[in-house]
Structure 1
Amino acid sequence: MRRRPLLASLAATPALAQGREVDALLVLAVDASGSIDADEFQLQREGYAEALSHPAVLAAIGAKPRGAVGVAMVEWGSPGGAATVVEWMRVADAAGARALAEAVLAAPRSPQSWNAIGDALEHCTRLIAAAPFRAVERVIDLSGDGPDLRSLIPAATARDAAVAAGITINALAVAAAGQVTRFGEPLAETYRREVIGGPGAFVVSAEDRRDIARALRAKLVREIA
C-alpha cells in the first residue's frame, strides 16, 4: 500500500513542492559576525524565534489573501561567506510558526567575521530567485550591529541590484542610543543610505540584542501587513 508522506500534513516544512504560491517571500539576513559573542548570539536567536511565533505576526500572516508566507534565514559576516542556515519553510499557522522557530534555534552557527553586508544582500537575492514558492512580495530583512566593512560587492551596489529584481530591503539596526558609525552618524542612518531600498523600505532600531524580539516583531508585522 502506498503511504502518504508524513511531511505533507505539516504547516511549515522544508520546501519540497515547487511553484506553491504564498503571499510573501521573506529572507531573514542575520548578523553573525565576530562582534557578536556566544551569549549575544543566543539572545539574538531567541529573539528571532520569539518574534516569528508571536500571535501578532501570525495574525498578520492570516490576514493576507493566501494566509501563508515563505521564510528562510541567512547568516552573514565574512566576505563572500553568507550562509543559508534555515532553508525555505512555509508558514501558515501556529504550528508552522513553531516549527520555524525551532529550526531557527536548532541551526548551528555559521563561521563568520567582519561585516560584509553587500555580499549578504547578493546571497539573499540569489536565494529568493531560487525559492520554491511564488510570491509578488519579496523582502530581504537584514539585521546588523555595524556598517558594511569588507564586502566584495559594495552594499549599495548589491542593494540596487536586488531592488532592480523586484525585492524590497528593510533593516534592523542593533545599536545603543548615541552610538555612531565611522561615518559619524547613527547606524540606522547608514542603513538608510546604503542598505534599504524598494517601495516603502524602512529601518527599525533595537537598543541591544535583548530588544531584538520587540523590534523584529513590530518589523515583521509591518512587512507582512
Structure 2
Amino acid sequence: MRWCVSIGAVLIAGAMAAGGGAGIAAPNSGSQVPDASDNAAAVDIELILAVDVSYSMDMDELAVQREGYAQAIVSKEFLQALKSLPNGKISVTYFEWAASNDQKIIIPWRVIDGPETADAVASEILKTPIRRASRTSISGAINFAMPLFDEDPYHGARRVIDISGDGPNNNGAPVTGAREAALAKGIVINGLPIMVKEPSYSTMDIDNLDFYYEDCVIGGPGSFVVPIKDRDKFKEAIRSKLLLEVAGRTPERRIVPVAEKEPRVSCLIGEKIWQDRWGR
C-alpha cells in the first residue's frame, strides 16, 4: 500500500516514535567500520537520500533543500526518534542527481547514532558547493542508488531510497521499470515532490506532480509521498519525511491511500513533453 501523507501527520508520527524518551542518544565511540559479522554492523535502516539538482530548481531552492536536510538530521525530534529504535542508529548516504548519467555522491555511507555523528553529516552536506545540471532522470537516480546498498558496510532491517524532485522523468529509462527493479530487491522508495512554483513550459513542470510520484515513483511496504507546495514549508517537509522514515511507520491520521489502479498521470508524461518540445 502506498500513501500520500500530510506534514502534520508525519510530525505526529515522529513524536509518537520518539515516545517519552528524554534527552538525546549519545554517539557510539570509535570510527572504525566493523566487520559485517560484528553486532556493531547492525543498523535499523539503510537510507539513501537522492536529491534533484536539475536546472528547473533555482539556486534558492537548492540552498533551502540542502539546509533542510542538514537541519532535519540534527533536529531534536530526529535524534529522539533515532534513540527509540532497537539499535539506535541508521546508515545514510546522500547523492545529487540530474540526467541518467549524472549522479554525484556528496556523503558516502555514514552512520548516525547521536548528535555528534549527526552534526558531522550535516556539516558535510552544507560545505559542498551547490551545483545544477541538465535533464531529470528519476530512473537514473533509482538505478544508481540500488547498488549503493551493496557497498554499505552496515546492514539494516530496512532499505529505503528517498527521492526528492520537482519534475517528472524525462531522460533515461522509464521510471516504472527502475521502480519495479528496486521493489524486487525489497527496497522501499519514498518521495518528496517539490511543487512550490506554478508549472511552466520552460522548465517542463507538470500539474499534480504528487500524483505522478504516488503512481509512478514510490513503492514498497509503507511507502509514502510528502509533497512540498509552500516554499516556507520546505524545511519542515524534509524534517517530517525523515521522521517518518526513521519511525518506519505510516501515521493513522490524515492519510489518503493511493489506489492501485491505472496511473492518474501518465508515467511517460515527462518523456512526452520533452519529445513534443525538442523532437527527440
TM-score norm. by structure 1 comes to 0.87
Query: 1:6 corresponds to which residue?
Result: none
Amino acid at match of 2:164: S
The alignment covers a number of residue pairs equal to 216
Query: 2:194 corresponds to which residue?
Result: 174
Amino acid at match of 1:98: D
Alignment of 1:1-225 (within 5 A): 16-19=33-36, 20-109=41-130, 112-150=133-171, 152-176=172-196, 179=199, 185-225=207-247
Q: Deviations over 1:10-44 (max 9, x none)?
A: 75998733421110000000011111232321111
SS at match of 2:101: coil
Contact 2:199 2:205 in 1 (8 A): no
Identical-pair percentage:
35
Determine the C-alpha separation between the residues in 2 that align with 1:42 and 1:119.
Answer: 23
Contact 1:171 1:196 in 2 (8 A): yes
Q: Compute the displacement of 1:177 (Å).
A: 7.8
Determine the C-alpha separation between the residues in 2 that align with 1:178 and 1:201.
Answer: 26
Counterparts in 2 of 1:110 and 1:18: CA distance versus 1, 3 Å: farther
Query: 2:267 corresponds to which residue?
Result: none
Contact 1:47 1:210 in 2 (8 A): no
Determine the C-alpha separation between the residues in 2 that align with 1:143 and 1:13.
Answer: 32
Query: 2:15 corresponds to which residue?
Result: none
Amino acid at match of 2:158: E
Q: Compute the displacement of 1:86 (Å).
A: 0.7
- The runs of at least 4 consecutive aligned structure 1 residues that moved more than 4 Å come to 10-15, 177-185
TM-score norm. by structure 2 comes to 0.71
Q: Pick the structure with greater CA Rg.
A: 2
Q: Which blocks of at least 5 consecutive residues in structure 2 are unaligned? A: 1-26, 248-280
Determine the C-alpha separation between the residues in 1 that align with 2:139 and 2:235.
Answer: 25
Amino acid at match of 1:126: P
Counterparts in 2 of 1:185 and 1:40: CA distance versus 1, 3 Å: closer
Determine the C-alpha separation between the residues in 2 that align with 1:70 and 1:11.
Answer: 13
Amino acid at match of 2:180: D
Amino acid at match of 2:234: I
